[in-house]
Amino acid sequence: MRKALSALTALFLLAAPVPAPAEEEAPPLTVTGAAVSAPETLGLKEAVYTGGTLLTDYRREGDLSASTPYALIPDSGLYTFRGDALRQNAAFGTCEVAEGTLTPLWEVPLSGLRTAENGMLYGVGWNNQPAVVKWAAEIREIMPLDAEFKNKKALVEVLFSAQDGKIYFLDLESGAPTRECVWAGYPLKGSVSVDPRGWPLMAFGQAVSKMPSGTGDIGYHLYDLITMQPLYFLNGRKSAEQVQYSPNGAFDSSSLFLPAAGSDALVVAGENGLLYTISLNSALTLDGSGSAVSVSPEVVYMNALAREERENKTSIEGAPSMYGRYVFLADAWGIVRCVDTSLMKTVWAYDNGDNTDAAMALDLTEEGLDLYTGNTSYSRLSKKNPVTIHRLNALTGEEIWTNEIDCVKNTSEDVAGCKASPVIGQKGLKDYVYFTVNQVQGGGAKLMCLAKADGHEVWSLAIQESVSSPVAVYSEFGDGVIFQADSRGNLYLVDGLTGHLLGQTKVDGRIEASPAVYRNRVLIGTCDKNAKMYCFEIR
């Protein structure tokens, strides 16, 4: 019998085989904004649109809300960059680290793609992180998986986009392809996001449009994983239907699906400087060979420009973080904002000093909500000015502390400073936050452990240059180990409390991407001519 499923019905169906209860929802919080962080202090002007139509006094019908926890099916995996809407980490499950070793399990060769302006691009680049999903049996059955994997019990699938224009689908256990690649035709950098309901919906961003054959479209893509065909394309370029300051149409950012409380939306930000909220109005039908997923998108977006900001610096590369109805994002000028999506209005704004590319991470505490961020030395900082790491009160926009780090100014690339996203310590590491700071004085980079309380450096580890984000891996008892990769292909396991190097190995390739950890398996890709996706076992 044909079954047309609402979001609630489908969630019940997919969650039913899983005995584990969902985690308790995080408490609601209200952002008020302090006088010192009022948007007017930065001369911020902003506007809300649908298509080319300006919306005055906008008020959304029904609030958006980011679920905490993000995955609505327990014990199912990593669905977006840095794990969830808080962007704290990229690890699923627990792992007992006894030997401090990384044992290679498999490697999969990746290809390259020639562009008109950037030459050949290979493998997975900044900030690409795999999604890792354990599919429900009902969804496995309707997707075009190879027969071996369609019938595999508890299949865990690795999904990632690459600069060779492909989306790859691999078996976590063996590295074998589980289905045909999606061919997008253009280099991709934005990490894949998958619908956290466990629905067969996938989204990813495009990095380049100028190819040897000509210039094509550029934007953000939503795909149906039943038909493996595009469902929706979000144009990134300025048009009569889209008002933007930055001309860059790329999307290095990773989106958030918001299925909670019937909101059924997608939130994403682009290098065009726009924040989009897209009501998907999605539907899933389970009917054997007639199974289908559909969307009917309604797009509302906003632009913003500060008083002294250059228009092309409104570009947003970092993945937005979110708590409840509030989105936190930053741009290439360094303007950090908290946006109330119910009104599509900035509640508070903070000047971070320079380009802020890394995803900002949120930390829910007994006192409220904190935001951790760092900048890079790009267009505003000189060799005499250090890059900075900040802890902000996410509910008011007020600065709690700042840590300054001397970095080497790089005028050709924006990689000096905090290009990697931080880890917010939990469990046995709950008092600490971890940043990877690139091109520090003296050369290379350093992995830093900072005290949440006051920002002082507890320990640091010198490594080669790195824009790859660290990941915290926890044991069943809460002990924490940090996994870190650097640009030379070195992989490190570090004691999260002491900074002691537990183990180290090396892959043959350059690393710019970020890792994902599923229980005791870590996935990391390279981006040179010999590009590969690697899987190691942490022991």
Residue ranges covered by each domain of the chain:
30-538
* 120 CB neighbour count, 10 Å cutoff: 14
Residue 395 pairs in a beta bridge with none
The pLDDT assigned to 262 comes to 57
Residue-level pLDDT, tens digit, the chain, 539 residues: 334 444 334 444 443 333 333 445 678 899 999 999 999 999 999 999 999 999 999 999 988 999 888 998 888 999 999 999 999 999 999 999 999 999 999 999 999 999 999 999 999 999 999 999 999 999 999 999 999 999 898 899 999 999 999 999 999 999 999 999 999 999 999 899 999 999 999 999 999 999 999 999 999 999 999 999 999 999 999 999 999 999 999 999 999 999 865 569 999 999 999 999 999 999 999 988 889 999 999 999 999 999 999 999 999 999 999 999 999 999 999 999 999 999 999 999 999 999 999 999 999 999 999 999 999 999 899 777 999 999 999 999 999 999 999 998 765 678 999 999 999 999 999 999 999 999 999 999 999 999 999 999 999 999 999 999 999 999 999 999 999 999 999 999 999 999 999 999 999 999 999 999 999 999 999 999 999 999 999 99
CATH class name, domain 30-538:
mainly beta
Is the peptide bond between 385 and the residue preceding it cis, with omega within 30 degrees of 0? no
**pLDDT value at position 18?**
31
CA distance to 95, 132, 426, per residue, from 473 (Å): 7, 15, 10
Q: Which residues, other chains included, contact 524 with Cβ-Cβ below 8 Å and sequence gap of 6+?
A: 468, 485, 491, 507, 511, 513, 514, 515, 533, 534, 536
Give CA–CA dist 316/331, Å, rounded: 5
Two structure tokens written together for 458: 């507890």
Question: Could you tell me if 328 and 319 are in contact, meaning their C-beta atoms sit under 8 angstroms apart?
Answer: no
What is the predicted pLDDT for the residue at 74? 85
Interacting residues of 334 by C-beta distance below 8 A, sequence separation 6+: 351, 352, 353, 354, 355, 356, 375, 380
pLDDT in the model for residue 412: 67
